[in-house]
Amino acid sequence: MDQGLILITLLIKLGVSAAVSSVLARGRRFRLLLFREERSLSETLEMVLLIGIPFALGVVVRAKVKNFMAADLAFEGSMLMGIITGRFGGTAGGLLVSVPSLFLGEWGNLPVNVGAGLVAGYLRNLAQDKEAIWSFSPFFDLSLYRWIRRTIRKSLIDWQTSFFVMILALTFARYELKGVFGRHLFVLETPNWLVTVLIYLTTIMCVAIALKVLNNVRIEMKLEEQERLLLQARMEALQSQINPHFLFNTLNTVSSLVRFNPDKAREVIVKLSNILRRLLRKSDAFVQLKDELDFVDDYLDIEVVRFGHDKLRIVKEIERESLEIAIPSVILQPLVENSIKHGLSPKVEGGTIYLRSRIAGRLLVIEVEDDGVGMEGGWRAGTGIGMANVRERLHVLYGDAARLEVSSQHGHGTLVRLTLPMPNPDEFSPSLYDIRSSTSR
């Protein structure tokens, strides 16, 4: 075989290894399986199929396209599957990528590929730290002093060096078996010792490149998982906030009602238990608007008992179509509490709170308005822990897609307007909000 053609083939093989790995890394199911260190038998077989089929097709391409031997990475793919999935996966993968060779009369590829996958799988099991697999590089430290010191300290050769030697040994065995199987085993042959060395190095590089590409995917998924857990922690912390003054005031109200109106006291206790139960259900990051309004009703019923029906009135203007739309849970109660605390409490004669909702295109608009004392300064961002809580939750869940606006006129009340993007009916599912919402069910 022409030496120049072999060198070109070796160069293209590196590109093919990177391309196949990159295509695999784009698959959502593959990424999920790759992220798991421990897999069930069915998941291992699925992983073998996902990796093995492209490498098996490469054998077909090599047979169909003249002088395109770079497409055949069955040997390297067998080792890759063994090192990723273990002994069973490596054996099954070696068998899978060898099937096309049987139709070409190259039955010698079958034991070679199966053996390569099996040996690589055994080596995977020997790795005490599985992260060493993904950090493999052929450019390991060859400093004799450091190698001797590391060997004495550990009383064994480190895993990456073992993997390097394993690939060399399997490649050497493959070429030795060529003399036994003859034309029934496919290998790149050359009498030039320098080109032979390059063939060995290319085999190592093909495996290393594939692992490097796939490791980048794992690192990306780890960062996404850490971000999801961080957002979940932030959401739970924000969702757990409850104004202790409300709790103390409610308990004082119950204490006073017990003496002269025990039935009303029991009613307040039931409504308080409903509120606490909702606050403890941290997994419900999103609820329908009608459920959120029920929660606000319990809160308002308690406040009406405290202030009296003549001092606190509630008016609802709710579009029926908006009741089924999903919104962040416990998002309205802080706004209503703000209206009572800062708008109506300072007003001797009390006042009215208006709850409104409407659909505007692909947006849901919710308004909480009161006719209380208002705030100086007109349009303001809103202050206080409750408003800061709402603003932070909206930012965590929607980014810049949601708006919280506060319009107030001193002596004439305050209007708080929430503008939220509406998810499509088929989009509102746990999969859409996995990263944004709590999944501690």
| pLDDT greater at residue 215 or residue 345 | 215
Predicted pLDDT of residue 86: 92
Polymer length in residues for the chain:
441
CATH for 240-421? 3.30.565.10
pLDDT band at 379 (very low <50, low <70, confident <90, very high): very low
Q: Hey, where are the domains in the chain?
A: 3-224, 240-421
220 has pLDDT over 50: yes
233: tokens are 């922690």
pLDDT of residue 156: 45
Average pLDDT over residues 321-346: 85
DSSP class of residue 312?
E
> Is pLDDT of 438 > 60?
no
Q: Which residue type, as a one-letter code, is found at position 172?
A: F
pTM of structure? 0.60
Share of the chain above pLDDT 70, in %: 83
pLDDT of residue 60: 95
Confidence of residue 168 (pLDDT cuts 50, 70, 90): very high
* pLDDT at 157 exceeding the cut of 60: no
Percentage of the chain beyond pLDDT 90 is 40
Q: Where are the beta strands (DSSP E) in 259-350?
A: 286-288, 312-318, 326-328
φ and ψ of 422, to 5 deg: -95, 125
* 127, two tokens: 């790795």
Give the tokens for residue 130: 């599985």
Predicted confidence band of residue 310 (pLDDT cuts 50, 70, 90): confident
Lowest mean pLDDT among 64-73, 203-212, 270-279, 381-390: 381-390
More confident residue, 344 or 18: 18
Find out whether 107 and 195 touch, Cβ atoms under 8 Å. Answer: no
What's the mean per-residue pLDDT of the chain?
82
Alpha carbons within 13 A on the beta-carbon side of 247: 9
138 vs 84: which has the higher pLDDT: 84
pLDDT at 35: 85
Confidence of residue 380 (pLDDT cuts 50, 70, 90): very low
Residues 6+ positions from 63 with CB-CB distance below 8 Å: 100, 104
The pLDDT score that the predictor gives to residue 354 is 93
The Cα-based distances of 410 to 96, 289, 369, 373, 379 in angstroms read: 77, 30, 14, 6, 11
Does residue 441 register a pLDDT over 50? no
**Which amino acid, 47?**
M
Quick count: other Cβ atoms within 10 Å of Cβ 291? 16
Question: Binning pLDDT at 50, 70 and 90, where does residue 373 land?
Answer: confident
Residue 425 pairs in a beta bridge with none
